[in-house]
Amino acid sequence: QVRLRESGGGSVQAGGSARLSCAAFGYAYSTYYMACMAWFRQAVGKEREGVAFINGDDRITYEDSVKGRFTISKDNADEMLYLYMDSLKPEDTAMYYCAADYDSALCAMGRYRYWGQGTQVTVSS
């Protein structure tokens, strides 16, 4: 069973930075074996959206609104996924979720079976 746990959220002033961490748990299902991992966010009253994606080959993509400001990275040795967020804006305020899957077919469809509980990021102006 894959379990994911986010941490690092909190309150930040606009223009500031924050780092989110996602720890992966579960025998043999470390970040190394994941075909895809990602960070999603959901603001109050809005649909969940993907903001940063990394696949098993370390190919990375970003949602347009965070390009140049957010950086996703993976540490297979520590079984961690990170999201570095710079130049934060009030519109980045949301609950941020870590997601992953080891099934490449599901990843190709943009589907993730494993999700963390989320960590809140609040950016004040």
Contacts of 23 (CB under 8 A, 6+ apart): 4, 5, 7, 79, 80
- The per-residue pLDDT for range 15-40, each reduced to its tens digit, is 999 999 999 887 565 777 889 999 99
Q: Rounded to an integer, what distance in angstroms lies between the CA atom of residue 62 and that of residue 75?
A: 18
Share the mean pLDDT of the chain: 93
| Interstrand relation of 94-101 and 36-42 (parallel, antiparallel or unpaired) | antiparallel
pLDDT at 78 over 90: no
Across 40-58, average pLDDT: 96
Q: What is the pLDDT of residue 28?
A: 62
Across 97-109, average pLDDT: 93
Q: Which residues of 4-43 are buried (b: 16+ CB within 10 A; e: fewer)?
A: bebebbeebeeeeebebbbbbeeeebbbeebbbbbbbbee
For residue 76, what is the DSSP state? T
